[in-house]
């Protein structure tokens, strides 16, 4: 299996709350003409948006310039403050139930990046497949297709017709 390039636009690992550094799990399509519903994918480590988003904003700053805010669906995240300080500025976090589930929009002056959000609890193979697809230049799949295409297939049945699952060896 080939591995997905994670953090192609991040400059360095990010500091986590536990004191060690990890790479931001992000893929973004090239800035050439946009295609599809999303501009890339992000796999946060938790559902605490206020804690997760500063590193994401730092990675997107070169692309968007001064970032003004983030919109998200509040059903996808823990309770979130309406503003945070990140990158030396005040960033608005707007929770809207009209926002498509499993996405966030990061916006700056006249620019917008829509990212597929892969659930923090997703397994690495599932998340990497979704990130790879979401960040592929020509991908035009919708959110549901991106997430379902990366989901594991149903457990196969044995040749005897038994309903006992066959163990996988990953």
- Residue 165: its pLDDT value, please? 34
In 21-126, beta strands by DSSP E: 21-22, 26-28, 40-42, 67-72, 83-86, 89-95, 103-108, 111-117
Of 63-72, 98-107, 120-129, 148-157, the poorest mean pLDDT is in 148-157
Write down the pLDDT at residue 30. Answer: 87
Report whether pLDDT(49) > 90: yes
In the prediction, which pLDDT does 100 show? 96
163 has pLDDT over 60: no
**pLDDT value at residue 31:** 78
3-class secondary-structure state, position 124: helix
pLDDT tens for each residue of 83-142: 999 988 999 999 999 999 999 999 998 899 999 999 999 999 999 999 999 999 989 999
CA–CA dist 15, 131 (Å, integer): 21
How much is the pTM?
0.77
Residue 6: pLDDT band (50, 70, 90) is: very low
Domain at 40-149: CATH code: 3.30.2320
Residue 17 has pLDDT above 90, yes or no: no
In the chain, % of residues over pLDDT 90: 62
For 5, residues 6+ apart whose C-beta sits below 8 A from its C-beta are 27
Reply yes or no on whether the pLDDT at 144 is more than 80: yes
Domain boundaries, given as residue ranges, for the chain: 40-149
């Amino acid at each position: 299996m080939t591995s997905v390039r994670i953090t192609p636009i991040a400059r360095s690992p990010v500091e986590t709350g536990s004191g060690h550094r990890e790479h931001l799990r992000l893929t973004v399509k090239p800035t050439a003409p946009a295609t599809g519903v999303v501009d890339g994918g992000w796999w946060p480590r938790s559902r605490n948006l206020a804690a997760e988003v500063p590193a994401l904003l730092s990675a997107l700053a070169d692309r968007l310039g001064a970032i003004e805010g983030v919109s998200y669906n509040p059903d996808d995240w823990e309770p979130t403050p309406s503003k945070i300080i990140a990158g030396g500025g005040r960033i608005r976090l707007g929770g809207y139930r009209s926002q498509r589930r499993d996405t966030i929009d990061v916006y700056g002056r006249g620019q917008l990046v829509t990212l597929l959000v892969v659930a923090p609890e997703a397994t690495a193979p599932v998340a990497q497949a979704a990130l790879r697809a979401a960040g592929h230049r020509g991908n035009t799949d919708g959110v549901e297709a991106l997430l379902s295409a990366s989901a594991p297939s149903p457990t196969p049945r044995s040749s005897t017709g038994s309903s006992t699952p066959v163990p996988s060896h990953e």
